[in-house]
Structure 1
Amino acid sequence: MAAACTLALLGALVPLQDDPAPLSAGRPAQVTWAQYAATQDGSGTCTQPERSLDPNLGSTTGAAVARIRKYGKLKVGVDQNSYLWGFRDPATGDLAGFDIDLVKAIAKDILGDENAVQYLTVPTADRIKDIKSGAVDMVVRTMTINCERLKDVAFSTAYFTAGQQILTSGGSSITGFDDSLRGRTVCTATGSTGQKKLQGDRHGADVMLVANQLDCLVQLQLHLADAVFTDNALGAGQAAQDPAVHLVGKTVTDEPYGVAMNLADTDLVRRVNKVLNAYRADGSWQASYHHWLEADLPGIKPPVPLYK
C-alpha cells in the first residue's frame, strides 16, 4: 500500500529528463474533424475509430518526423503510476512497462536509439491538451481510441484491447458494473472512458473523480471508495500491486488502445503504424506481453490493424 500511495502522489505534466521545446512551430494547419472523420466509412460518420492511416499509402518521413530528428529526442507523454504499463521501477529507478517498451521501439525506429526519449508524465485529463499544445509528440498511456477523441487527436492502429471493469476489495458485496453499486462510492479518473460510461449509467453509485487511476486504488485502500471503475488492463496491474483487491464481473466496453498524436502529424501517424506492424510481426509485442501482462491478463493477442 505504501508503494502505491507513493506512486499516486506523482503529479501533472512533469519532465523526466530535460525541458521540452515547443513543437507547434512549423506544423501544417490543423486537420479538421470533418476531414478526418469522413475517411472512416466514406459517409462522414465515425463508425470504426480504430482505423488509422496506412503506412504504405503516404509519407512516413515528412515534417513531423523531421522535427523530431532535428530536436534529437522523441517527446512522449506517459504514465509513471500504472504498474505493468508505465511505472517507475523501484529496483532501477527507470520507467518500465508494456507502454514503455513500445515507446522505445518507436524511438529506435525514428532516431536509431531506444533511449532517445524525453518522457513527461501526463495526467489522464491532460493527454489531449498536451498533444494539441505541442508539449509532446505523442502520448503512449493506455489511451482508448474513440470517435469523440478523434475530433482532437489522431491515433495509430490499436496495439491492445481492454475493457472497463469493476475493481473492489476482497469480501465486498459488489459483483460488477451493476446495481450492486447502488449507494456505493465508485472512483474513476477524470477524462477517462470510465467517467463517460458512469455519466450515462452509474447504477445509483456516487462517483469520485481523481487525476490518475492509481489514485483510485489508494482511495479504495483507505476505504474512501468502495470500488474502482477502470480498464481491466489497469485493474489487473492494480490487483498485482495489492492482492487484497480484485476485478469482479465482466468488462462492459471495448477499449482499443492507440498511440495518440497531433492531427496534423500524418507522417508520424503512418510512421508509428509502420513500427507497430514490425512490432507485431517480429515477436516484440508477444515478448513484451509475456513479460508484463500475460500472468494477469492471459489469452490476449495483438489487435489486427485496420486502415482507412
Structure 2
Amino acid sequence: MKKIIRYIGVMATLCAALVVLTSCGAKPLSEQNVLNNAKSTNTITWGVKADTKLFGLMNIKDNEIQGFEVDVAKALTKQILGPKGKAKFVQVTSQTRIPLLTNGNIDGIIATMTITKEREKQVDFSNSYFDAGQSLLVKKGSPIRNVQDLNKAGTTVLGVVGSNSVENIGKYAPKAKVLQLSDYAQALTALKSGQGDALTTDNGILFGMAIENPGYEVVGGSFTNEPYGIAINKGQTQFKGSINQALKHIEKTGEYNKILYKWFGNVQGFNYGEAKR
C-alpha cells in the first residue's frame, strides 16, 4: 500500500511539473494567432458595452447583451467563421476594454471605441464601422445649448474615465470643470442629481440615454469626428484582415445598413446619414 501511495505521489509530482513546463513554454493568449484559435474553437470572443443603449445593453429579462455593435459582431463572426460560427460576448467598460484585450481575455473590442493616434500605440484598429460625433446631453430647458456654453464660470461637465470625450472638452471648453465617472450609468445618475450641468460623449450614446429619459435632450450638434473601429492586439495581421474583409462584405450586401437602421433608423434627431458607412 505504501508503495502504491508513493507511486501516486511521484506521478502527481511529474504531472504538476509537466503542467508547469507546458504553461511556461506556451505563448501568452494575447500573442497567439487569434484567427487560428477562433477557427479551432469556432468562436470569436468580443468585448462589448452592456450599459449603452442602442450599442450594447444588458437585457435583464434574459441576461443577453443587445445592440447595434452586438449585431455587427454576430454578422462579422458568421463571415469569418462560417454560418455556424459562434460569437461570445464579454462585458467591458471604457476602463477595462484594453486591459482585457491585451491580457487575452477577448479577441476584439467592438465597444464605441474611437480610433485615435494615442490608442493606436497600444492596439491595432479595423476600418471604421460607425462615424459618431461628440455632443452634449442636458436637462430640457437648460441654458447650455452648445459646447461654447460650457465655458461659463462654474459649469461642470460629466464624462467617463477612459473615453477621449473628457480630453476633447479640455480643447473645446477649457474653462469647464470636468467630473469623471466610471461608466455611463453613473454619469447619467450624476447629471440627474445635479452634480453636473451636461454629460458629454458620442452622440449615438447620448441619443440612447435621451430615449430612456424624456426629460433630457441632446444639444449642440457634433463638435468632433469620432470614427469607431474594432480594436485588436498588435501583430494580429490575419485577424485584422479578416475583420476588414468581413466589414466590407456586410456593407456591400446591405446587411450592415439593415442593422444600422434597426437600431438608429427611428431615433429622433439622430443623423442616420452621417453615421452610415
Matches within 5 A, 1:111-130: 111-113=81-83, 116-130=86-100
**CA separation in 2, counterparts of 1:150 and 1:178?**
29
- TM-score normalised per structure 1: 0.75
Structure-2 residue corresponding to 1:267: 238
Is 1:251 equivalent to 2:251 in the alignment? no
**CA separation in 2, counterparts of 1:130 and 1:214?**
21
**CA separation in 1, counterparts of 2:76 and 2:256?**
13
The partner residue of 1:141 within 105, 111, 124 is 111
What's the offset of the Cα at 1:111?
3.0
Distance 1:152 1:114, change over 3 A: farther
C-alpha contact 2:35 2:239 (8 A) present in aligned 1: yes
Matches within 5 A, 1:66-77: 66-77=36-47
Q: Write the letter of the residue equivalent to 2:225.
A: D
**CA separation in 2, counterparts of 1:241 and 1:114?**
35
The partner residue of 1:284 within 255, 266, 269 is 255
Matches within 5 A, 1:82-93: 82-93=52-63
What's the offset of the Cα at 1:151?
0.7
Matches within 5 A, 1:198-277: 198-277=169-248
Gaps of 5+ in 1: 1-21, 29-62
**CA separation in 2, counterparts of 1:290 and 1:26?**
34
- TM-score normalised per structure 2: 0.83
What is the RMSD computed on CA atoms of the aligned residues? Answer: 2.2
**CA separation in 1, counterparts of 2:272 and 2:134?**
17
Computing the radius of gyration over CA atoms, which structure comes out larger, 1 or 2?
Answer: 2
C-alpha contact 1:23 1:135 (8 A) present in aligned 2: no
What's the offset of the Cα at 1:27?
2.6
C-alpha contact 1:79 1:122 (8 A) present in aligned 2: yes
Of 290-299 and 274-283, the range deviating more from structure 2: 290-299
Question: Identity over the aligned pairs, expressed in percent?
Answer: 28
What's the offset of the Cα at 1:132?
1.6
Higher helix share: 2
Task: Give the number of equivalent residue pairs.
Answer: 249
Gaps of 5+ in 2: 1-25
**CA separation in 2, counterparts of 1:23 and 1:178?**
50
Structure-2 residue corresponding to 1:160: 130
What's the offset of the Cα at 1:213?
2.3
